[in-house]
Amino acid sequence: MDDFIKAVKRVEAQDPGSKPVAVLKRLRRAAGLNDAFIQHFLSDAATSGPELEANLSAYVHKAVHHSVQEDAREEGVVLTSDGTTVALRPLLLGLEAGFLSKTRGQARGLYHLTLAKDLGLSLRRRSNRQHFDADGCWDNLTSPRVFTLSAKPSLLTTALVNGGMDGVVLGMEVSGKARQHLKLSSLLTEYYNHQLNSEGLDSAPRLISRRRRENFKGLTLPPALARWVVKSVELEQQLGGNPSGETKKQLRALVRNRLKAFFHTVTGCPPIIPRCMWGAEPYRGTPTRLTLPLSFMYIHHTHSPSEPCLTFQQCSADMRSMQRFHQEDRGWDDIGYSFVAGSDGYIYEGRGWHWQGAHTLGHNSKGYGVSFIGDYTARLPSQHAMRLVRDQLAACAVGGGRLASSFTVQGHRQVVSTSCPGDTFYEEIRGWERFGEVKK
């Protein structure tokens, strides 16, 4: 994302007095985003003035033009400083729709351009078993060039959804606002590169990329998105002259039904950083598959690392450190925890949903082990980190059939002789709704 923001600054510098919508239009022209569907909501990009210089235009086209190749490479995506991957096309279209709006909180075509069209294509082409978490891995986190999906190629990837949500959130934010002195590059920098202080997200501003899911959830009602998806499908058919074999009633029912899985994934689940993104070493040996749903969630703290992590870089380093300790010193096959909560706004994948961990001796087959990075003997994790696990990760697990609806939360110390998860934190989880004492 930093490289793309530099490119935006170059476009701005070519015409210092240009407004953000003019910059966005020139970027859209270079990227080739000017089909009939887009022009139905936005103006013709060919009228955006002189073209960008050749090398800058080529970079913008490659950075913005989204596609998924047969070898699972996803193009038109960028890595952000918080460790997430974002497709630029829906982000830029959403911003342009927002800047064109003269009414606060309303932007013509905002949802159609950011998510609804792609959702319509995905929902109608895929089987009843929907997955909206097609994430992947970069070839290099320091100098990322190639992003490859971990699963088979998908029409609707995590990066496309992230870019769509960001386009909605930022497009809605700039709609109808006085913005004479606002620069697009500054808006993107503030949104994607905000530095957290020691309180983590508890004191962070509302408009940052780490909050994209909660902001999107606050702006988007499922029935409204379903209507926009249907309208996008109909508009696409109208513009292309390709009538659908479905009736409008059938299309509405299909979209309404399949959007449930989408909302479960993007608003019911926390953002999870996959193993490849934090640099996990391979599992040693043969993993044991869990029999789902499980009945417990066991809460831990790491003790060492003793400090909360506030950046993707530090949380990733802590994950690698713990995995080395568990594999090299303890002789375990992998990092012991199922999931780990950072204070940067993200959950980090350990052994994940399907493989038995090594976190709670004698109980690893019965529950997920979820640890919070930091020593919480005399203090608490951030409120945001606790909500991420207590409310979102748990609800995601229940909704996905991984935790039983009657599951129980317990502290590590309740079933093993240990001080984990720390005195102060243990007193806190005793007040959680799902907390349960050990049955004799």
Domain assignment present for residue 415? The answer is yes
Same domain, residue pair 290 and 342: yes
Distance of CA 277 to the CA centre of its chain: 13
24, HSE (Cβ side, Cα atoms, 13 Å): 25
How many structural domains compose the chain?
2
What is the rounded CA–CA span in Å between residue 229 and residue 250?
13
What is the rounded CA–CA span in Å between residue 133 and residue 396?
13
pLDDT for position 132: 65
Domain of residue 209 covers: 2-267
Domain assignment present for residue 219? The answer is yes
Domain assignment present for residue 95? The answer is yes
Token reading at 238? 């109208």
CB 357 within 8 A of CB 364: yes
Same domain, residue pair 258 and 361: no
Burial bucket for residue 278 (CB in 10 Å: 0-12, 13-18, 19+)? buried
Domain assignment present for residue 434? The answer is no
Best CA proximity match to 278, nearest among 319, 311, 308, 309: 319
**Contacts with 342 (C-beta within 8 Å, 6 or more apart), sequence order:** 308, 309, 310, 315, 318, 348, 373, 385
Domain assignment present for residue 438? The answer is no
Domain assignment present for residue 81? The answer is yes
**CATH number of 280's domain:** 3.40.80.10
CB 85 within 8 A of CB 66: no
Detail the DSSP E strand segments found in 55-176.
Answer: 67-68, 74-75, 77-79, 85-87, 136-138, 147-149
Q: Which helix (H) or strand (E) holds 173?
A: helix 158-174
pLDDT for position 324: 98
Same domain, residue pair 186 and 317: no
Token reading at 184? 């697009």
What does the angle CA 260 – CA 261 – CA 264 come to, to the nearest 5 degrees? 85
Best CA proximity match to 333, nearest among 288, 372, 377, 300: 288
Domain assignment present for residue 436? The answer is no
Same domain, residue pair 54 and 98: yes
pLDDT tens sequence across 366-414: 999 999 999 999 999 999 999 999 999 999 999 999 999 999 999 999 9
> Looking at residue 303, what DSSP letter applies?
S
pLDDT for position 179: 64
What is the rounded CA–CA span in Å between residue 49 and residue 19?
13
Beta strand pairing call for 67-68 and 74-75: antiparallel
pLDDT for position 128: 45
Same domain, residue pair 229 and 377: no
The residue ranges of the chain whose pLDDT is under 70 are 126-133, 178-180, 243-245, 440
Detail the DSSP E strand segments found in 31-190.
Answer: 67-68, 74-75, 77-79, 85-87, 136-138, 147-149
pLDDT for position 49: 76
Boundary (domain end) residue, out of 239, 267, 295? 267
Tally of CB atoms within 10 A around 38: 21
Same domain, residue pair 259 and 181: yes
**Is the full-model pTM beyond 0.75?**
yes
Boundary (domain end) residue, out of 241, 267, 293? 267
Domain assignment present for residue 440? The answer is no
Best CA proximity match to 191, nearest among 179, 173, 203, 175: 173
**Contacts with 331 (C-beta within 8 Å, 6 or more apart), sequence order:** none
Same domain, residue pair 237 and 315: no
Same domain, residue pair 239 and 366: no
Same domain, residue pair 50 and 78: yes
Same domain, residue pair 52 and 83: yes
Same domain, residue pair 207 and 281: no
Boundary (domain end) residue, out of 224, 248, 267? 267
Same domain, residue pair 182 and 311: no
pLDDT for position 98: 96
What is the rounded CA–CA span in Å between residue 200 and residue 210?
11
pLDDT for position 178: 67
